[in-house]
Chain A
Amino acid sequence: MERPKADLSYVVEALPLGPAFETGQLHDVSSGMRTFRPVIDTEKCVKCLRCFLVCPDGAIDKSGETLEIDYDYCKGCGVCRRACKPGAISMVKEAEV
C-alpha cells in the first residue's frame, strides 16, 4: 500500500519549538473515530475507482491489483459504500470484525 504511515514513537521533548514545523508527518491515527468498517468484496469490485475518488480521507489505495483500505486513517464514514454501484463494499461493525 502506498500510503504514509504514522510514527507513533516520537517523544514530545525531541520536537522543535516555534511557529514553523516540518510538514507532512503523521504522529497519530484516525481509526479511533470508526464504528463501522468498510470491507471491499474483491469478487464484486469492478475497479471503477468511484470509492477512491470520493473518499474524504483518501484512505483507499488504487496502486495494487485490488483496492486496499488504509484502516489507520479510514474513519468509517460510509461515503465509499454509497458510491459503490456494484455493491462491493459492506459496512461491518468494528466489534464484529
Chain B
Amino acid sequence: MALNAKTITNQELFYGHKACPGCGAALAIRLALKVLGERAIVVIPPNCMSTVGYIYPHMPVFVNSVIPPFAGTAAVMSGILAGAEAQGLKNYHVVGFAGDGGTADIGLQALSGMIDRNDRAIFICYDNEAYMNTGVQKSSLTPYGMKTTNTPAGKRIHGSQTSKKRMFEIVAAHGIPYAATASVGYPEDFLAKVEKAMNTDGTSYIHVMAPCPTGWGTESDVTVDIGKEAVDCGLWYLAEYEGGEFRLNRDPKEFSSAEAYLKAQSRFSALDENDFARVLQERDEAWARMRRDWKK
C-alpha cells in the first residue's frame, strides 16, 4: 500500500519539539518515524534536532533514543545493533538522523565503516546545507554562493566558493544495498524511500533535503514549497541507488527558474550575474552526467 497522508498513522513520535517554526528537518524526522513506528531506536548526534528534541525534562522523541558523540552516529548505531542482537530483540529498526555536517564532514568515517560492515540500519542525512545549530557555518554540503558566518559575502567574494560534495555518490561507491535522495518538498516520495530502506537487509542511506527558514533566510511558511522548488529547478535531484545501479526518479523535461529559487532566499542575496551563470553551468553539467550514466 502506497504511503501517503491518508494511509500513514496519526500517531506522532516526534511531538512537542522546540524547532523553529517551519523546520524542514523536524518534518523529515517526524515523517520518517511515522513510517518506522514505535519499534524504532533513534540515534541523533549533536545537531539542531537533538538540541530541540531533548530539553530535560521535556522529551519529545517518543521512542528509545540516544545522543552519540558528533563523529560517532553510525558507530553508535552499530553498537546498538550488537546490543539488540545480544538481547535477542526482534522487529526493530535502528535509525540515525544526522545533519549535513554530521554526515559529510564529521560523521563520514563512522558512516563509511558502518556501510563497510553492512549493518542493518538506516542512516538519514537531513541536509540543510550548513551547520545551522551553531549559527550557520559552511559544511561540505553547502552550495556555491551561500552566505554563512565563515564564508561571509563581501565585495569580491559573494559567499561559499565551493560546491556541494557528491555525498550520495560517495555512499553509493561503497556498494551500499540501498541509497536514495529525497526532499521534504516531495513527502510521499520520501515516505516510500524510508519504507524501502526499512525493508532493506543491510545498510541504507537516505539524503533528504530539509530547508531551514532561519539559515536560508526564507519565511517560515515556504519550507515545503522551497524544498520542492529546489528539485524542480534542478539544484537538487531525486534518485536511488539499488543493486549497483543509479536511477533518476524525477527527470524534469524543463527546469523551473534556478535564479528565482536563489533570489527567494537571503542566503544568496549577494550573488551577481556571473555567480548565477556558474550555478547554472554546474547544474547543467551535473544533469548531463546523471542523464548519461544513470537509468531513468
Contacts and interface: CB of A to CB of B under 8 A. Distances in A.
Nearest to B14: A58
Interface in B22-37: 22-24, 26-27, 30-31
B11 A77 contact: no
Contact of A53 (B5, B64, B220): B5
A22 B12 contact: no
A31 to B, nearest CB: 11
Contact count band on A = 35 or more
A28 B53 CA distance: 12
Interface stretch (B146-154, B221-229, B268-276, B280-288): B221-229
Interface string A75-89: 111110111000000
B141 interface: no
B221 A26 contact: no
Contact of A4 (B15, B187, B219): B15
Which interface residue of A21, A27, A30 has the most chain B CB atoms within 10 A?
A30
A10 to B, nearest CB: 6
Interface stretch (B54-62, B159-167, B238-246): B54-62
Contacts, number: 113
A65 B12 CA distance: 19
Given A24-B63, A26-B60, A54-B27, A79 B220 contact: yes
Contact of B224 (A2, A6, A79): A79
B118 to A, nearest CB: 29
Given A24-B63, A50-B5, A77 B57 contact: no
Interface of B: 4-6, 8, 10-12, 14-24, 26-27, 30-31, 55-65, 184, 187, 213, 219-225
